[in-house]
Amino acid sequence: MTHLLPICVKCSRQMRPVKNDVTFTTLHVGGEPMEIRAGDLVECQDCGVRVITGIASRPISEVHHSNFNECVKSYAPEYQAREYTR
């Protein structure tokens, strides 16, 4: 997927790709898993902050799908994403 790379506003630096197609689990506020999604991991070479961007519009699986638990095992998502709360 081609997309513009994010900018680190602290360092005024375009972020560099680290790894494409990393997977993460989105979590409800209470911590329950909702979806497995994939995106691209980028980082700022100056301050080291890392961000997942280029997130696919469709989830790999959602908790109400019959294959959700299988997907959790097979993809073994590397990251988690809690919803923002304020």
Binding site for Zn ion (CB under 5 A): 8, 10-11, 44, 46-47
Contacts of 16 (CB under 8 A, 6+ apart): 5, 42, 43, 44, 45
Closest contact distance (angstroms) between CB of 63 and Zn ion is 34
Measured from the CB atom, is 8 or 36 closer to Zn ion?
Answer: 8
Asked if 80 contacts 27 with a C-beta cutoff of 8 angstroms, the reply is yes
Q: Which helix (H) or strand (E) holds 50?
A: strand 50-53
Measured from the CB atom, is 41 or 44 closer to Zn ion?
Answer: 44
Measured from the CB atom, is 14 or 74 closer to Zn ion?
Answer: 14
